[in-house]
Amino acid sequence: MEKVEIQRNGELLLGEFDDVIVVGVDIQNDFCEGGSLAIPDGASIVPKFNGIAKWVKLNNGTVILTRDWHPEKTTHFDQWPVHCVSGSRGAEFTPGIDPGMADLILSKGMGSTEDAYSGFQGRSADNQTLSDVIKQRGSKRVALLICGLATDYCVKSTALDAISNTDGNVEVIAVVDAMKAVSEDTGNIALSQMQQKGIHLVTSADILSEKVLSVHRKVVSPDALVSPEAEDKLEDISYDLDYYKLTMSNFAFEFEPDTEVTLTFHNRGNQRLMDYVGIGNLQSLFDSIQRRGFSHEELSYIRGLRNSRGNNIFSDAYLEYLANTPLPKVNVRYDPEIDDVVIDTAGIWAITSFWETIIMSRVNEMYFQGYMRVI
């Protein structure tokens, strides 16, 4: 069978959403290697799903896990080998899936005559359903991401039920590399059926790089942790002016006025940066700083700097240059080769050099904000 084409392009295919929900369908031991109903390479989706779940948390979204939770005796086992019996090791989530990260766990197939392939048939300990969670969003535009096991059974049933159980404000999105099928042929048939019903097929990289969708959020300034009013005060963000940066810029202005440079920033830490910092959030912040330009107060500060003899350190020509020359555009992107964020910018050395301290300080501040939100 011809492979199903995954939808992607260079634009935001689906636009901006008010909220995001990810459903991890039945990522359980019995459906992975060594289980009674194992799906080939089933456990390999765990890192992909965890990456999506962290991105959802970073965007203040909701993480839901579904699980088969069958009684010991059920007509369901007339069709299938015994699997995912409630309380058994086979019913546990696969290693690497932390149930503590879930906002809701939905158990399904609990009745003695119940098959319950779809996550919409599951219920939480307090009797909530997936439909309830979606209805709580009201008229908000919601991205519903579907991942899990198996593509050709419970994932497909959940995705198709999402189409029939939601209104037009919900877009159903299947993350194809965060799911596995019993067989490639039946998996492709399932993806084709989903696509025919209006379900969008994307990859985890498309989601993490925010190529197909973004989630509406205010850019939070570094002061927002202690001052909620600071969220809307991007104009107060300074250029991190220090003497070293100013003198280097001034040297380039006087002696290398036409020299162009490219700055590229990679994360060299042990933690993946994009697990805690949203690409869109970073891009919005840097765009705002770039648009802002040097403030009158900053230029006055630079003008007032004097050497030991009382003379101005920086010339009027340099100050005029800073006042009239915008910072170059910064590009925040996902690099699949390193599976993390890369930040780059290019332009005339005298002005581009300011981005070095701005980018490093803002990334560190936003990393710790995201870290505190996720843990």
List the structure tokens of 56: 């959802």
Q: Which residues contact 141 (CB under 8 A, 6 or more apart)?
A: 16, 17, 18, 19, 169, 170, 171
Clarify whether 108 is annotated catalytic: yes
Clarify whether 78 is annotated catalytic: no
Clarify whether 73 is annotated catalytic: no
Catalytic residue among 19, 26, 30, 275: 26
Catalytic residue among 54, 154, 180, 275: 154
Q: CA 23 to CA 119: how far, in whole Å?
A: 8
Q: CA 122 to CA 106: how far, in whole Å?
A: 5
Residue 242 β-bridge partners: none
Catalytic residue among 48, 54, 108, 180: 108
Residues marked active site are found at: 26, 108, 154
